[in-house]
Amino acid sequence: MIFLRVLVLALLTGVALSALAWVFTRERRYLRLAWRLLVGGLFAALVFFAVLFVERLTAERVAAGPIESPALSGSQPEDARRGTGVAVLRIFGGDAQPGGPVPS
């Protein structure tokens, strides 16, 4: 991630220096260079965030996996093995309050 930050900083510095060179020299090539750098950077950022978005969408589907019922698999829910209060809510049909006394 530090590499991308340095790259963005270099891009913005290039745009600023090109625009500054145009202000002092009034040569259009510096303005064209600044514009090309800016558009190229925005396009690269758009592609980067699109890849992150697609990765986020596909990661949720892969992480979810197939849905199994604990009753069918013959195993206890993970909460019950850890001893958290969520298992109490599941066992007693939601009557118990989280953090309250656990019935024995």
- Is 90 exposed, middle or buried (CB count within 10 Å of its CB: 0-12, 13-18, 19+)? middle
CA dist., res. 22 & res. 11, Å (int): 17
Residue 17 is predicted with a pLDDT of: 97
The model's confidence at residue 1, banded by pLDDT at 50, 70 and 90, is confident
CA dist., res. 83 & res. 97, Å (int): 15
What is the DSSP code (8-state) at residue 69? -
pLDDT in tens, 30-70: 999 999 999 999 999 999 999 999 998 888 766 665 555 55
Domain boundaries, the chain: 2-65, 68-97
Instruction: Return the percentage of the chain with pLDDT > 70, whole number.
Output: 57
CA 102 vs CA 56, 78, 93, 96: distances in Å: 38, 17, 14, 8
Cα angle vertex 12, ends 51, 8, to 5°?
35
